Amino acid sequence: MNSKHIVSPDFDSIQEQTLIPTHVAIIMDGNGRWAQKRMLNRIKGHEQGSKTVRSIVETSREIGVNVLTLYAFSTENWQRPKNEVNALMTLLVSFLRSEEKNMLDNNIRLMSIGELHRLPKEVQQALNRVISITQYNTGMILNLALSYGSRSELVDMVKKIATGVKSGSIEIDTITPEVISANLFSMNLPDPDILIRTSGEMRISNFMLWQLAYTELFFTETLWPDFTKEEYLQILHSYQLRERRYGTVST
Ligand code: FPP
């Protein structure tokens, strides 16, 4: 956790505060329902959702979050209708292209976790370009979970470690939680302090199962396209009032 403190959800009061979370992870849910409620195509919901992404990235950077992980596309999302998958991929490319300058100007580094080789070539190229040109930025990491599923991440980790054991580079007795973390897609990132899921669903949905072991969970009924900076600050404020005991007792 960083050494700032949000004493009220008011943005201006943040300057002299402590306890800003180091890593915020968000399951951005409810784009489809947002559109359906307005008799619009689901894709309109994703378009509106990407505007929320811009606003929450900006707020995270301003308040001093070090890592923001956004669950933008799951391994299960590949099963959606082709036109929706294509629209999401197109939105991603346009987000990456339009945000490139903003990330450079604001010292934001882009990273990505997931089975990235499954993404269309155009998305991989746009992603790799921004990852590469922002690699030395130090202000904040924006980590996009793309074609991501925690169980396949865990299978991948087991295979890497098993290969190491087989080749003799890893001894079984040296396998610790740290070794496991280091072999996940999220290898160098700290575990999330906060997980937010929008749209009222109370599930983790195959997201960072290992990394969320001690994460504070926040669920809101708000659909992702309606999620505002004010509600985000309210959640950060609630987080600061929680006592994180990591399985021990209060002191
Ligand atoms: C879940 O809503 C959301 C997604 C599957 C995609 C999230 C994508 C974005 C927010 C926009 C593009 C991303 C970036 C990073 C620019 P849903 O479609 O499952 O909603 P529903 O549960 O109401 O149907």
Query: Do residues 12 and 180 make contact, with C-beta atoms less than 8 angstroms apart?
Result: no
pLDDT at 120: 98
Break the chain into its structural domains and give their ranges. Answer: 23-149+192-239
Query: Do residues 35 and 43 make contact, with C-beta atoms less than 8 angstroms apart?
Result: yes
Find out whether the beta carbon of 50 lies less than 6 Å from any atom of ligand 1: yes
Q: Which helix (H) or strand (E) element contains residue 67?
A: strand 67-74
Is domain 23-149+192-239 given the CATH code 3.30.390.30 in the classification? no
Distance, CA of 99 to CA of 91 (rounded, Å): 12
Three-state DSSP class for residue 20: coil
pLDDT at 3: 54
pLDDT along the chain (251 residues), means of 10: 56 58 98 98 98 98 97 98 98 97 98 98 98 98 98 98 98 97 95 98 97 98 98 95 76 61
pLDDT at 10: 58
Q: Which residues are catalytic?
A: 29, 77
Query: Do residues 186 and 211 make contact, with C-beta atoms less than 8 angstroms apart?
Result: yes
Query: Do residues 7 and 71 make contact, with C-beta atoms less than 8 angstroms apart?
Result: no
Half-sphere exposure of 1 (CA within 13 A, CB side): 20
User: Which atom belonging to ligand 1 lies closest to the Cα atom of 224?
Assistant: 10
Tokens 């979970």 correspond to: 145
pLDDT at 88: 98
Distance, CA of 247 to CA of 214 (rounded, Å): 9
pTM summary value: 0.93
Find out whether the beta carbon of 192 lies less than 6 Å from any atom of ligand 1: no
